[in-house]
């Protein structure tokens, strides 16, 4: 049985998509959803989906090792960041080499790094008059959005597109490709 632990900070649409993708896959299980935001809508989604949730704070994540200890105990085959905004501590990265992946709503290396998430990315893409955007799924290292790229998918940006239009196109790519890439990684 392959166990996946998902991390999210917000509404959890990618989390729900991933859980639903694997719900009828007997050898892959989303065992936990972890969030740093006690008000995140992902908690409600997790309850509805029947997946246990753990809410944690900065102390647990960066200082006292509580989340690292939890992850070691759960021993996931893959840790998936699905809209998680905090930088992963090096002790977690070291403990789970090549087992932590992230999705970014742009074609890295463009529009990545600290503070580049959600609508901020799409606003930058429009402001710079890009003709395409997309998604990047990558391994996580000690820096925001700089890990080795696993997969990218592109979408066209049309003249007159708003950041909301770009977000919609990017979300479609996320929903289509993220679970499939997770599945491919686990089958290797």
Residue 7: the pLDDT is: 98
Closest-CA residue to 30 (of 77, 68, 71, 67): 77
How far apart are the C-alpha atoms of 178 and 171, rounded to whole Å? 10
Residue 163: the pLDDT is: 97
CB 40 within 8 A of CB 15: no
- Residues of the chain under the 50 pLDDT cut: none
Q: Name the segment(s) of the chain with CATH classification 3.40.50.170.
A: 1-97, 103-176
- Does the pTM surpass 0.85? The reply is yes
Residue 188: the pLDDT is: 85
Q: Which residues are catalytic?
A: 104
Residue 183: the pLDDT is: 97
How far apart are the C-alpha atoms of 140 and 99, rounded to whole Å? 8
Per CATH, the number for 103-176 is: 3.40.50.170
Phi, psi of 150 (to 5 degrees): -95, -45
Residue 67: the pLDDT is: 98
Residue 145: the pLDDT is: 96
CB 134 within 8 A of CB 174: no
Q: Which residues contact 92 (CB under 8 A, 6 or more apart)?
A: 67, 68, 71, 79, 100
Per CATH, the number for 1-97 is: 3.40.50.170
Q: Strands 28-35 and 2-8, how do they pair?
A: parallel
Residue 113 in 3-state DSSP?
coil
How far apart are the C-alpha atoms of 51 and 97, rounded to whole Å? 25
């Amino acid at each position: 049985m392959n166990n996946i632990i998902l991390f999210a900070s917000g509404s959890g649409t990618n989390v729900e998509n991933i859980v639903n993708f694997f719900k009828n896959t007997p050898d892959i299980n989303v065992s936990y959803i972890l969030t740093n935001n006690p008000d995140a809508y992902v908690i409600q989604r997790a309850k509805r989906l029947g997946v246990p949730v753990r809410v944690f704070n900065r102390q647990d994540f960066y200082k006292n090792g509580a989340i690292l200890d939890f992850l070691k105990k759960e021993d996931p085959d893959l840790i998936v960041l699905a809209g998680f905004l905090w930088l992963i501590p090096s002790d977690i990265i070291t403990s789970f080499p090549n087992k932590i992946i992230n999705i970014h709503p742009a074609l890295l290396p463009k529009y990545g790094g600290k503070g580049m998430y959600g609508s901020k990315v799409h606003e930058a893409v429009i402001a710079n008059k890009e003709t395409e955007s997309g998604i990047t799924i990558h391994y996580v290292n000690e820096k925001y959005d700089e890990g080795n790229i696993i997969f990218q998918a592109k979408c066209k940006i049309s003249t007159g597109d708003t950041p909301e239009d770009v977000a919609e196109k990017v979300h479609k790519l996320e929903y289509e490709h993220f679970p499939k890439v997770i599945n491919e990684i686990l089958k290797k």
